[in-house]
A and B are shown apart, each in its own frame.
Chain A
Amino acid sequence: MPPRRQLVLACGALAREVMAVLEANGLGHVAVRCLPASLHNDPKAIPGAVRAAVRESRAAFDDILVGYADCGTGGQLDALLQEEGLERLPGAHCYAFYAGVDAFAARAEADMRAFFLTDFLARQFETLVIEGLGLDRHPELRDAYFGHYETIVYLAQTDDAALTAKAQDAARRLGLAFERRFVGLGDLAPAIRSFAAPAATAPLLGAR
């Protein structure tokens, strides 16, 4: 039997991390295709973009894992995945699955006034947060966005001093306290492993 042709169709914000999981687990046969991370600012557009990409990829792949959480689609992505018979990553968003969905939920109340950074967001802070929210052109909007926030919580995927410094700088820029929590890849790695090697790791089947 030829090996199954597998694809992770992921949010661009997860590109590096998905590749890292594949590499670390010897899953080099799995292809990765990314959609623009900027879709996050318009979550209603995510299901449509995923649907189009899935349809395009069907012919070339036997299995597709959708590398998104709910991401603010309010269940619309799940409805689409059910139609297509596909799975996605666990949880509401990447902050939750990096921290571990259950662990994230358990701290929800304590973290209510936290704005989260990941490696990706720390790297792209200037472009996605400062420019994305228009704070470069209109610094006076700082309070309208972040007036209720107290802390930047950097959920780190890697131990990278330069990125930590960037995240810290981001907190300074917004006038917020800073906290770093090393969480690694959290629930991302098991989700990809159980997708990519179902036959070889039968006991993992049915795991989240």
Chain B
Amino acid sequence: MADDGDIVLSELPDGDLVKQMHDDLYDGLKDEIEEGVRILLKRGWTPYRTLTEALVEGMRIVGEDFRDGILFVPEVLLSANAMKAGMAILRPLLVETGAPRIGKMVIGTVKGDIHDIGKNLVSMMLEGAGFEVIDLGINNGVEKYLAAIEEHKPDIIGMSALLTTTMPYMKVVIDTLKEKGIRDDLVVLVGGAPLNEEFARSVGADAYCRDAAVAVETAKEFMMRKHNQRAAVRA
């Protein structure tokens, strides 16, 4: 939207501004997103509301159109960069204002693989949904996952692989968790374009997630179950 010069974000009422931010996120306009976030905060929106209604909802639309083949990887990357810029403003404020924390997740691309676009997107959307996310980056051997589990005590472990040759490594990690007797303390989610549900089952993961939106829903559902189980034990 190059010829949008006549839209002045600060003059838009909240509803229109949020809609405009969804468009700007869709178009990957980082500066406009930063400006929009600042305006909403100045108008008294909580960081959490700004995050969910302006950024996460906008990115959900981007994710949908990517899934449906309307948007492609470069556009998604630009949108993700814009969202990241908005989140950078919100992150410290979220902590200060005690925004809800649903759970903790350690995520990484498995050993031998350096594809990370999808993993980064999942990481960002989970953070947006209220998870504390520890991102181990690329090329993670089992010892990196173990060290992160020890240090951060996450609820969920996420593994990403985009190569046929690196997918099987997920089983190595899960088998090691079993050997150590900690497999059942964790929820294991796996993803990456070449995977499918059957593969996830065969390596012993709890679920395969087709995209970031499904990852958020699945992670939330497992946290809910965990919560209910704890409540049942207490009762």
Of the candidates B74, B139, B196, which one forms a contact with A133 in the assembled complex, judged by CB atoms under 8 Å apart? B74
Q: Does B162 count as interface, using CB distance less than 8 angstroms?
A: yes
Residue of B nearest to A115 (CB): B114
Within the complex, the shortest CB–CB distance from B140 to chain A, in Å, comes to 12
- Residue on A nearest B165 in the bound complex, by CB: A92
A43 close to chain B: CB less than 8 A: yes
Q: B77 contacts the other chain (Cβ, under 8 Å)?
A: yes
> What's the nearest-Cβ distance from chain A to residue B72, in Å?
7
Mask of B129-147 contacts with A, CB within 8 angstroms, 1/0:
0000000001100000000
- Complex CA–CA separation, A113 to B116 (angstroms): 13
- Please measure, in the bound complex, the distance between the C-alpha atom of A70 and the C-alpha atom of B72, giving whole angstroms: 23
> Which residues of B are found within 8 Å of A72, using beta-carbon distances?
162-164, 193-194
Any chain B CB within 8 A of the CB of A108?
yes
A141 to B: closest C-beta gap in Å? 5
Nearest-neighbour CB distance to chain B for A41, whole angstroms, equals 8
B199 within 8 A of A: yes
- Whether the pair B199, A74 counts as a contact (CB closer than 8 A) is yes
Which B residue's beta carbon lies closest to that of A45? B69
CB under 8 Å from chain B, chain A span 71-112:
72-76, 92-93, 105, 108-109, 112
Bound-state Cα–Cα, A76 to B117, Å? 23
Q: Are A74 and B114 in contact (CB under 8 A)?
A: no
B114 contacts which of A73, A93, A105, A113 (Cβ < 8 Å)?
A: A113
For B152-186 the 0/1 string (1 means CB < 8 A from A) is 00000000001111010000000000000000000
Complex contacts, B77 vs chain A, CB 8 Å: 134, 138, 141, 144-145
A107-124, CB under 8 A of B: which get 1 and which 0? 011001100000000000
- The distance in angstroms between the C-alpha atoms of A112 and B140, with both chains bound, is 12
User: Would you give the shortest CB distance from B188 to chain A, in whole angstroms?
Assistant: 18
Q: Is the CB of B162 within 8 A of A109?
A: no
A73 touches B112 (CB 8 A): no
B57 at the interface (CB under 8 A from A): no
Contact of A148 with B by CB under 8 A = yes
**Prevailing SS type, chain B contact patch:** loop
Q: How many residues of A contact B (CB 8 A)?
A: 25
On whether A149 and B114 interact (CB within 8 A), knowing A70-B164, A74-B194, A92-B165, the answer reads yes
Classify chain B's interface size.
20 to 34
Report which of A43, A70, A108, A148 forms a contact with B138, defined as CB distance below 8 A.
A148
Say yes or no for A44: interface residue by CB 8 A criterion: yes
* Shortest Cβ gap from B80 to chain A (Å): 8
- Per the bound structure, the CA–CA distance linking A139 and B167 in Å amounts to 30
Q: Is the CB of B72 within 8 A of A43?
A: no
Closest chain-A Cβ to B95's Cβ sits at a distance in Å of 26
Check A16 for interface membership: any CB of B closer than 8 A. no
Which residues in A have their C-beta under 8 angstroms from that of B78?
138, 141
Q: Whose C-beta in chain B lies nearest to the C-beta of A79?
A: B198
| Mask of A137-169 contacts with B, CB within 8 angstroms, 1/0 | 110010011001100000000000000000000
Does chain A have a CB within 8 A of B23?
Answer: no
Q: Does B195 reach chain A (CB closer than 8 Å)? A: yes
CB distance from B18 to the nearest CB of A (A): 26
Q: What mask results when residues 37 to 72 of chain A are scored 1 for a CB within 8 Å of chain B, else 0?
A: 000000110000000000000000000000000101
Task: Give 25 CB contacts A-B under 8 Å.
Answer: A44-B193, A72-B162, A72-B163, A72-B164, A72-B193, A74-B193, A74-B195, A74-B199, A92-B165, A105-B165, A113-B114, A133-B74, A134-B72, A134-B75, A134-B77, A138-B74, A138-B77, A138-B78, A141-B77, A141-B78, A145-B77, A145-B117, A148-B114, A148-B138, A149-B114
| A interface with B by C-beta (< 8 Å) | 43-44, 70, 72-76, 92-93, 105, 108-109, 112-113, 133-135, 137-138, 141, 144-145, 148-149
